[in-house]
Structure 1
Amino acid sequence: MIDHRPFASLGSADHGWLQAHHHFSFAGYHDSARMGWGGLRVWNDDTIAPGAGFPPHGHRDMEIITYARMGAISHKDSLGNAGRTPAGEVQVMTAGRGIQHSEFNREDAETQIFQLWIEPREPGGEPYWNTRAFPKAGDGTFTVVASGYEADQSAGALPIRADGRILAATLSAGDALTHRPNPAHHLYLVADKGAYRLNSHDIASRDGVAVQGETHLRITAEQPTTLLMVETATDHLRQGR
């Protein structure tokens, strides 16, 4: 099953300083058919005005991954962590038993981010935050950028406490890659930029694609494309915050 969800079909909200698009039900947007996908609960596509952001607020029992598409996002939390994640880099935050944080665009131009929330393997535990750059060479393969699996973490992936991983690929026009998922897993793909063909489906930038039950995915870039994919082995939704 491959369910193509065009960008225009996503939920949206105009907060003035924040232009938000929601792949799944979030805040004031509710769609009973889009409550999450496997262990993936949230995929927000946010544009944040210069000097604006999210003031200190709390989370618990959720793995929160932020990919900076343009500009940079600046983070500060109750653990004493502070950092700036520029475009093309990823930050992860394990909320654990509870953490307060703020996220601001301290740049002179708009910042654009993808923010993903993934259900944790189990509730509680120590909160955690980190950020890291990842290679963007167009080598036609997926790189695991964050993972709940020790083998991926040993190879350089940022750790999350979930039964899943986040993969990224940078493709030149005409490049193709093959992915053979476990058909029981849930996959969700979004291109930061570019356009690509997934098996028989033509996918544009910022469209969502929900996949399950497939054993063979053929991805061919029709333009230079940066692609993120979440693959989770869980199929449950807890009420993390």
Structure 2
Amino acid sequence: MIDRRPFNSLGGANHGWLNAKHHFSFANYHDQSRMGWGALRVWNDDTIAPQTGFPPHPHADMEIITYVREGAITHQDSLGNKGRTIAGDVQVMSAGTGITHAEYNLESGNTQIFQIWIMPDEHGKPPSWGTKPFPIGERSGRFITLASGFKEDTDALPLRTDARVLGATLKAGETAVYELDGQRYAYLVPAKGKIDVNGVALDARDGAAIRNETKLTVTALEDAELVLVDSAP
């Protein structure tokens, strides 16, 4: 089962400095049929104007993954962490028992991010933050794991949840395959480009909510950049 969620059907709000689209209920957008997908709770498609951003605010008990699509995001938090994550790269914040953080676009142009929240399996752990480069060329024609709660994914940023966040880039006509446990939930968004996944066509920034599938065959109808979350029910 693949449920296409067209980009123009997403909720959201334009705050001037922030133009946000929400794949799931978030803030003032509420859709009872889109409260999450398995352990995946939030997938926001955010465009942040230059020299603006999210001022310091707290979180607890959430795995927050930021995938930078364009520009860069500059992070600082109450642990003393500071870092800049550029397009194609990823940062993970495990909010744990509580953390206050800020995310700013200090660039000269817009920054575009996917902000992904996944419910944690572990509670009572101290908060943490990390960022890592994932060169686009290393995921050409295949999915690579960017963040993971599985110990065998040693090259990925760690998560405290039974989930993986994956990325791939495909040239037009290329195909990538991902084997999926049919009991799990997957959510796929092409950051760029048009694709076909198991016979369902997606445009850039559409979402695909996937269940009861054991293999995802993704073919690029044009050059594409993909982000996939594989999560527990």
Q: How does 1:32-111 map to 2 (within 5 A)?
A: 32-111=32-111
Q: Give every structure 1 segment of 4 or more consecutive aligned residues whose post-TM-superposition deviation is greater than 6 Å.
A: none
CA distance in 2: counterparts of 1:87 and 1:168, whole angstroms:
13
CA distance in 1: counterparts of 2:56 and 2:97, whole angstroms:
17
Q: How does 1:87-236 map to 2 (within 5 A)?
A: 87-137=87-137, 139-152=140-153, 154=154, 156-233=155-232, 235=233
Tell me the alpha carbon deviations over residues 186-206 of structure 1, each in whole angstroms, 9 at most, x when there is no partner: 000001101110111111100
CA distance in 2: counterparts of 1:123 and 1:62, whole angstroms:
9
The answer as to whether partners of 2:89 and 2:135 remain within 8 angstroms in 1 is no
Aligned length: 232
What amino acid sits opposite 1:171 in the alignment? L
Alignment-derived partner of residue 238 in structure 1: none
Q: Unaligned regions of 5+ residues in structure 2, if any?
A: none
Question: 1:136: Cα distance to partner?
Answer: 1.3
Question: 1:179: Cα distance to partner?
Answer: 1.8
CA distance in 2: counterparts of 1:113 and 1:151, whole angstroms:
27
The answer as to whether partners of 1:194 and 1:204 remain within 8 angstroms in 2 is yes
Question: 1:158: Cα distance to partner?
Answer: 0.3
CA distance in 1: counterparts of 2:84 and 2:140, whole angstroms:
27
Question: 1:2: Cα distance to partner?
Answer: 0.5
CA distance in 2: counterparts of 1:135 and 1:54, whole angstroms:
26
The answer as to whether partners of 2:179 and 2:215 remain within 8 angstroms in 1 is yes
Tell me the alpha carbon deviations over residues 71-91 of structure 1, each in whole angstroms, 9 at most, x when there is no partner: 110000000000011111100
Tell me, what secondary structure is at the counterpart of 1:120? Answer: coil
Alignment-derived partner of residue 239 in structure 1: none
The answer as to whether partners of 1:23 and 1:44 remain within 8 angstroms in 2 is yes
Question: 1:142: Cα distance to partner?
Answer: 0.6
* C-alpha RMSD of matched pairs (Å): 0.8
Q: Unaligned regions of 5+ residues in structure 1, if any?
A: 236-241
CA distance in 1: counterparts of 2:215 and 2:41, whole angstroms:
24
What amino acid sits opposite 1:177 in the alignment? A
